[in-house]
A and B are shown apart, each in its own frame.
Chain A
Amino acid sequence: MDVEPDWFAMAGNLTLELPTDLRTIEIVVESMIERGRNIGFNPDRLRLNLRVGLTEALTNAMLYGNCKDPDKRVRILAQFSPHEINIVVTDEGHGFDPVGVPDPTTPANIRRARGRGIFMIRQLMDHVEYNARGNAVTMKLINGPGGPIAHAS
């Protein structure tokens, strides 16, 4: 008899505190993707959407939030359920105004080397929200079939 895995038992919360070290990003992202796989999340959404959201949020936190200061930390709070993944990435920086981030796809900006990270997060995560200070981003990814592109919020 086939036994359906108990996805809910494998879900749960996860907190991590990382040093400001870019080398940790790939390891953490792969670990989160694996955790999503283990609870039956759509692998397409993990491989592209979650990877982009988490990679870019951690990169921004380390490069621009913590200004590469190895003494500063980045905190991750992740909630995994079979229906959705919620992740909060918080740095120790002064924050920024996400409203003021220009669209990197316009003719004026497309040849710029920087400025695509937040745009990519917004395009590929189902909900994105910053705290008032601008040093914490909350991202939601909803499970489900279909293409990899979420409706940006």
Chain B
Amino acid sequence: MSFDVQRVDSVTVIDVKGQLIVGNRQELKQRVLDELEGGARRFLVDFAGTGYIDSSGLGVLVSLSKKIREQGGELRLANLNEDLRTLFELTKLDTLFHIANNRDEALTSF
């Protein structure tokens, strides 16, 4: 797994490439927390390049969402593939996150 971080207007966009799983979830978590510490408040995680997220990866997203909300910010998700959408629906996390079909949709609705 690797990820790119960029600013698009006021939104910090994180592109996750590869699988977000137990062995690498802490890297993403720490990077987002660093950005939060640096003042960023609006976050978008783009999963266009992500094939799979395991329960640990889902847990990191839940944890980050809470921490960001506590600072008055918001974490949104975009570009979930069919399998990932299924996992979010199964776990009902689709009710917890704002999930956009694509990056533009997510950015314009912030």
Contact = CB atoms under 8 A, between A and B. Distances in A.
Residue from A26, A47, A114 having most chain B Cβ neighbours under 10 A: A26
A117 B93 contact: no
Q: From DSSP, what is the main secondary structure of chain B's interface residues?
A: helix
A113 B54 contact: no
A55 B52 CA distance: 11
Contact of B87 (A23, A52, A112): A52
Given A48-B86, A104-B91, A111-B66, A26 B23 contact: yes
Interface stretch (B30-38, B40-48, B56-64, B100-108): B56-64
Interface residues of A, number: 27
Interface in A4-23: 22-23
Contact of A105 (B62, B63, B91): B91
A48 B52 CA distance: 9
A55 to B, nearest CB: 5
B54 A55 contact: yes
A116 B96 contact: no
A67 to B, nearest CB: 14
A117 B55 contact: yes
A51 interface: yes
A152 B95 CA distance: 22
Interface string A51-92: 110011001000100000000000000000000000000000
28 contacts: A25-B23, A26-B21, A48-B83, A48-B86, A48-B87, A51-B52, A55-B22, A55-B54, A56-B54, A59-B22, A59-B54, A59-B56, A63-B22, A105-B91, A105-B92, A110-B91, A110-B92, A110-B95, A111-B66, A111-B96, A112-B59, A114-B59, A116-B55, A116-B59, A117-B55, A117-B56, A120-B90, A148-B83
